[in-house]
Every structure is written in structure tokens, then in C-alpha cells.
Homo-oligomer: A and B are copies of this chain.
């Protein structure tokens, strides 16, 4: 039996863009599917008293310069040459994250994540504007009317709140956050460790 691997994500995190790009390779090499759980990073920060690293470390000399350089290097190493910082950062992602709940229910979460990730982190779009969201969804071949209508539903809003609270209960304090069984993995820098843990649990289960 394969281990259950859960990925807590919010489009507002540039490292979630990176994680989403690296996940297909991890799934292919391990033969294990990673389940995406949409959460609201702003909600996680409030519930855990955390902040985005760029803000948390803004007064630390050298830290942000290092993070930018390390990010550029990481992108280059992994051939992610379409990434660029969004000029509207930080982004209010509540609408596009509610949209992810809709997309999961309607069974097109992966194409939806592809489209929204690219809109924010490749095309530099202002994805807290409903008109911009609608145009990006249509350009990506998705049902913009359905999504923008359904994100108004109470059930959809409540599901995102529920996912966010549940994530914090599990121990999530930021994104990207992964669980391999109950082993937590935070950030882009330990994706290789996570991949090895997936294989370890998989081999243990089949042993």
C-alpha cells in the first residue's frame, strides 16, 4: 500500500509554485500520488501568529538578499525559467483558493492549479481582481462562470475555512507544507528528504 501524502498549498506562496512544478517528478519517481489540500495562507498566519518570510526577516541584514539569490539559483537548477515575482505581491488569494475548492469538487483541480499558478507566477496577473481571474480561467480553457458563481456559495467558503483550521491542527504554519503519513515537511528545500520518506514508507509497507 502506498503512503498517503498530503500537500497544503496556497497560490500566494512563490514556493508553492515551485512545489507544484516539482511534484509531477516526485510522483513519477515514487509512483505515489500527492493529494492537494487548498488552504488559506493568510488564515494560517493569523492562527499561528506567523508571517511571510520576507516580512518576518525584513529587518535582518542580508537575509532577504540571500533568499532572493537562493530562489533564483533554485529556479535555474530546476529549469523553472518562466517564473517571475508577481508585482502585486503579497496577493489576496481568498477568491482563487475558494476556486480551488470548487475545482476539487468539480474534478478539475490539477488543470485549475496549473492555470492559476501560471497566471500569478509566470504572467504576473493581478489575481485578486474577479475580471482578471475570469479572463485567466477562460484563457486556460476552464469554466470561469461556474467557478466565479460557485465561490460565492457558503459551503465552498466554509470548506476553505475548515481546511485551514484542520491544517493548523495538524501542525501546518506555512506553505508549502507536506505530510507523508504523519511526517511533516515544510518548504521547498526538503522536497528531496520528503521524496526519500515516501519511498521509505512505501517500501516498509510492502516489506
Contact = CB atoms under 8 A, between A and B. Distances in A.
A162 interface: no
Interface residues of A, number: 32
Contacts of A186: 66, 70
A48 B62 contact: yes
A190 B193 contact: no
Interface in A155-190: 168, 171-173, 183-187, 189-190
Contact of A60 (B49, B63, B65, B73): B49
Contacts of A29: none
A18 to B, nearest CB: 13
A59 interface: yes
Contacts of A187: 189
Interface of A: 47-50, 56-57, 59-63, 65-66, 69-70, 73-74, 77, 168, 171-173, 183-187, 189-190, 192-193, 196
21 contacts: A48-B60, A48-B61, A48-B63, A49-B61, A50-B57, A50-B63, A60-B173, A61-B173, A62-B171, A62-B172, A63-B173, A65-B171, A66-B186, A69-B184, A70-B184, A73-B193, A77-B193, A77-B196, A187-B189, A189-B189, A192-B192
